[in-house]
Amino acid sequence: MIAANIFIMVLAISVITALFLFKDISQFLISSLEEKVDVSVYFKYESSEEDVLKVKEEIGKIPEVKEVKYVSKEEALKKFTEKHQDNPVLMESLAEVGVNPFLASLGIKAFQAHQYEAVVSFLERPHFNYLIEKIDYYERKPVIERIYGLTSSFNRAGIVFSIILALVAILVAFNTVRLSIYNWREEIKIQRLVGASNWFIRGPFLVQGAICGFFAALICLLLFALLTWGIDSKAELLFPGLGLFAFFVSNFWLILLIQLLSGIGLGVISSLIAVKKYLKV
């Protein structure tokens, strides 16, 4: 019965730990998606570098803006030639133009996808009009909004899912403990009849619950160490930079704490509630 208790608790603690990891992985995926989003502002051909840098400075002061990157005309040309040097047609046409046809631009990144709207409306103010050629936000708007919608619903679904799973896991663990204590109901009654106080009776059950929870937590820790280590390289292929095992190692103490708390807490609280029912003699 104790083995069954530990096994069920391992499942429950695994769910709770998985939720903790899931929360972080989803955060990572969301931020890596958002990382890929930016808005570029192209400046008119005749605007000077000084003006552009001034705008850059002003944009940098907006709290929603995470990063502003200045790309000068020369840099834009250099990037283009580097990228397309194997394409003779493009290179020839560029040579035919004779001058650098590229515009200076600012690449703006906001912290979150929904903040671009505010940044763009700042740039659309009339006193920037004479400088700015175009803002590519409106071309990207549908993509940005879709990512924004996706990430927020992903997050929301994650939270709901995690709460439901955690509840189910806790209920299952509680029921297993309750069943094992059900077998002791006669003994508990006898203990009451010979004058044992409630704490004297509860004590051993609570200790047993705590020990079960402790071992379940240790087993879980080992399982997750092996699991994250095992799938680390495969996960890296799918999501570069995720570093599942590294995340596990760097959060080792926190994970251990979560597992011990949930294991011992589950064991003790379930025992407490389950024994209570039979103390009414």
Partner 1 sequence: MIRFQNITKIYPPRTIALDDVSFEVKPKEFVCLVGKSGAGKTTLLKLLLAEERPTSGRIFFENQDIQKVKLGYLPELRRKIGAVFQDYKLLPSKTAYENIAYVMEVIGASDLEIDRDMTEVLDIVGLTKKAHNFPAQLSGGEKQRVAIARALIHRPEVILADEPTGNLDPYHTLDIIRLLLKINEFGTTIILATHNKEIINSLGKRAITLNEGKVIRDEKVGRFIL
List residues near partner 1 by CB under 8 A.
187, 190-198, 200, 279-281
Q: Which long-range contacts (CB under 8 A, 24 or more apart) does 163-171 make?
A: 165/15, 165/19, 166/15, 166/16, 166/19, 168/15, 169/11, 169/12, 169/15, 169/16, 170/12, 170/266
Whose Cβ is closer to partner 1: residue 122's or residue 184's?
184
Report the nearest approach of partner 1 to the CB of residue 256 (Å): 33
Label residues 172-210 b or e (16+ Cβ within 10 Å = b): ebbebbeebbeebeeebeebbeeeeeeeebbeebbebbb
Q: Across the strands, what pairs with 39?
A: 108
Q: How far is the CB of 2 from partner 1 (least distance, A)?
A: 13
Name the residue nearer to partner 1 (CB basis): 254 or 281.
Answer: 281
Helix, coil or strand: residue 100? coil
Q: Of 3 and 193, which CB lies nearer to partner 1 in the complex structure?
A: 193
The residue (of 188 and 244) whose beta carbon lies closer to partner 1 is: 188
Residue closer to partner 1, measured from CB, 111 or 200: 200
User: To the nearest whole angstrom, how small is the minimum distance from the Cβ of residue 257 to partner 1?
Assistant: 34
CB of 18 to partner 1, least distance (A): 36
Rounded to a whole number of angstroms, the minimum distance from the CB of residue 279 to partner 1 is: 7
Q: What is the spatial distance between Cα 184 and Cα 181, in angstroms, rounded to a whole number?
A: 5
